[in-house]
Amino acid sequence: MRRLSRYLTRLRVVYGVLTNGKDFRIYELVGNQVKLNFQCQGAEITDNIEKIKDIIGRDKLAEIKPKNAGSTDKSSPPIAKSVITPPQSFQTSIVTPKPKVRTMKTIAIYHNKGGVGKTTTTINLAAAISRKGLKVLIIDLDSQANTTYAAGLMKFDTEEEDTLKDSNIYNVVFYPKSNYIPEIALKSTFTYPPVDVIPAHINLIWQEARLVDKDSSKTHLVKKLELVKDDYDVVLIDTPPSLNLYAKIALIACDYLIIPSDLKPFANEGLRNVKNFVEEIDEFRTFINKPAIAVLGVLPSKILTNANYIKATLPKQEKVVEERYGFPVLETRIFQREDLSRAIDNFVFEGDRQIPDPKSIFDFKPDSISAAEFEELANEVLEKVGLSA
Ligand SMILES: Nc1ncnc2c1ncn2[C@@H]1O[C@H](COP(=O)(O)OP(=O)(O)OP(=O)(O)O)[C@@H](O)[C@H]1O
Ligand SMILES: [Mg+2]
């Protein structure tokens, strides 16, 4: 219903059909309001076919005048169209890249609370954006390297085979005049079209002390990103659940911030830390002539699918975020669904060797509801950063 309302209001589509097979509804955009125009049971469609034709039959749609959509803008008349969303058929297609003038947008995915879905968001949002024909770079700034794993870059078994040890994000942020992004970035295998990834490494933990001693390391990433601004449309930075130097480097380098949160009490209380942290970083950014971070919003993530919770509790929790912590809440919600963790935990056998083969949700289960949710998130984010088609 949320997605359909967005279609109707944003694209100024006049009619939308919403059905799960059992229930059949026609919504109509009247002015700026989406109203339920017709509803029946799936089994009653045959009996109601004339009524339905009278609303969205071909002849009726041909009669539609622009004023029905609440707009007098002649340059973009409303589209008379029915949108059918049968269950499990949210599959999206891959768009071929179009040549364009790039205005690279760098988005950090951050919350100091652990396990709220930062990595899952980074990986699947990157895949959703890449499928729209945009060039994407992922940067993993978390020593847990979960994004590096989820991007399919950790297929080795032993320390000797570890090719990431001497070529990862640490090199990018430590060296001022070498180890540039194109040298360190790797092509991922977790999604198609592939995205570039700058991996993290477990050694980042002890290497942090070296970076702390070197104040300029806070801005090396900013400068190196500037050098690839014509190579990428979107850069997504995954961060550690911490207020440490790596989190600072991410927030200094980004233009925008998404804060995934399960909206549970600790995650919400943690938003106070996020707010203070953002303010601290914004102060630093003024010294390097960067504008304040644009917070795109808190992303409700790993949300329970229980209907009562969604109806009664979730809206209250979202309101608290806006009222108490002053962060906007994104419209898209990412619900807790097993497919998302199964996609990352995917593996294949080579002989008797079990090899990790993580996938994006689009590559693992393209017709899943989670894929549709990430598609919706990509649309919302791209619109908010000015990159929508
Ligand atoms: N929407 C979801 N539905 C089901 N499982 C999810 C969802 N989002 C994340 N998970 C699972 O929850 C766990 C934590 O998610 P994730 O690693 O994305 O969180 P994180 O915020 O990056 O954690 P950390 O702070 O440790 O980096 C993982 O096992 C992941 O598969
Ligand atoms: Mg993570």
78-90: pLDDT as tens digits: 444 444 343 343 4
Instruction: With respect to residue 389, please indicate whether it lies within any of the assigned structural domains.
Output: no
Together in a domain, 205 and 146: yes
Q: Whose CA is nearest to atom 28 of ligand 1?
A: 341
Average pLDDT over residues 188-207: 95
Mutate to test the pocket of ligand 1, among 139, 237, 274, 302 (most ligand atoms within 8 A of CB): 302
Question: Distance, CA 285 to ligand 1 centroid (Å)?
Answer: 30
* CB distance 117 to ligand 1 below 6 Å: yes
| Gap between the Cα atoms of 311 and 173, Å rounded | 45
Question: Distance, CA 146 to ligand 1 centroid (Å)?
Answer: 10
* CB distance 21 to ligand 1 below 6 Å: no
Instruction: With respect to residue 86, please indicate whether it lies within any of the assigned structural domains.
Output: no
Per-residue pLDDT band for 76 (boundaries 50, 70, 90) equals: very low
Beta-carbon count within 10 A of 88 CB: 12
Together in a domain, 138 and 224: yes
Q: What is the pLDDT of residue 89?
A: 39
| Gap between the Cα atoms of 57 and 67, Å rounded | 19
Overall domain count for the chain: 2
Which domain range does residue 7 map to? 2-69
Identity of residue 85 = T
Ligand number nearest CA of 118 is 1
Together in a domain, 201 and 269: yes
Place of tokens 């950790």: 154
* CB distance 146 to ligand 1 below 6 Å: yes
In this predicted model, which residue has the larger pLDDT, 353 or 374? 374
pTM above 0.85, yes or no: no
Kindly give the pairing relationship between strand 196-198 and strand 136-140.
Answer: parallel
Q: Which two tokens stand for residue 134?
A: 């945009």
| Gap between the Cα atoms of 71 and 356, Å rounded | 52
Residue 138 and residue 190 in contact, taking contact as beta carbons nearer than 8 Å: no
Together in a domain, 317 and 178: yes
Together in a domain, 240 and 295: yes
Residue 333 and residue 312 in contact, taking contact as beta carbons nearer than 8 Å: no
Q: Whose CA is nearest to atom 8 of ligand 1?
A: 117
Together in a domain, 115 and 31: no
Together in a domain, 187 and 127: yes
Ligand number nearest CA of 113 is 1
CATH number of domain containing 320: 3.40.50.300
Instruction: With respect to residue 100, please indicate whether it lies within any of the assigned structural domains.
Output: no
Domain stop point among 69, 84, 113: 69
Domain stop point among 18, 51, 69: 69
Together in a domain, 305 and 244: yes
Average pLDDT over residues 116-139: 97
Together in a domain, 51 and 109: no
Buried-state track 270-300, b at ≥16 Cβ within 10 A, e below 16: bbeebeebbeebeeebeeeebeebebbbbbb
Q: What is the pLDDT of residue 265?
A: 84
Together in a domain, 110 and 158: yes
Residue 334 and residue 299 in contact, taking contact as beta carbons nearer than 8 Å: yes
Question: Distance, CA 350 to ligand 1 centroid (Å)?
Answer: 27
Together in a domain, 222 and 351: yes
| Gap between the Cα atoms of 259 and 250, Å rounded | 13
Of 36-40, 264-268, 290-294, the poorest mean pLDDT is in 264-268
Atom of ligand 1 nearest to the CA of 334: 1
317-341 pLDDT, tens per residue? 999 999 999 999 999 999 999 999 9
Q: What is the pLDDT of residue 183?
A: 96
Instruction: With respect to residue 88, please indicate whether it lies within any of the assigned structural domains.
Output: no
| Gap between the Cα atoms of 134 and 101, Å rounded | 11
Place of tokens 């008349």: 77
Identity of residue 236 = L
HSE of 22 in the Cβ direction (CA atoms, 13 Å)? 0
Q: At what angle do helices 217-227 and 245-253 cross, to 10 degrees?
A: 40
Question: Distance, CA 180 to ligand 1 centroid (Å)?
Answer: 30
205-218 pLDDT, tens per residue? 999 999 988 888 99
Instruction: With respect to residue 90, please indicate whether it lies within any of the assigned structural domains.
Output: no
| Gap between the Cα atoms of 343 and 188, Å rounded | 15
Buried-state track 309-337, b at ≥16 Cβ within 10 A, e below 16: eeeeebeebbeebeeebebebbbbbbbeb
Atom of ligand 1 nearest to the CA of 121: 18
* CB distance 26 to ligand 1 below 6 Å: no
141-160 pLDDT, tens per residue? 999 999 999 999 998 778 88
Atom of ligand 1 nearest to the CA of 240: 27
Q: Which two tokens stand for residue 319?
A: 């309101």
Domain stop point among 69, 96, 128: 69
Residue 292 and residue 146 in contact, taking contact as beta carbons nearer than 8 Å: no
Across the chain, what does the average pLDDT equal?
88
Say if residue 193 is preceded by a cis peptide, omega within 30 of 0. yes
Together in a domain, 211 and 120: yes
202: pLDDT strictly greater than 80 = yes
Q: What is the pLDDT of residue 94?
A: 66
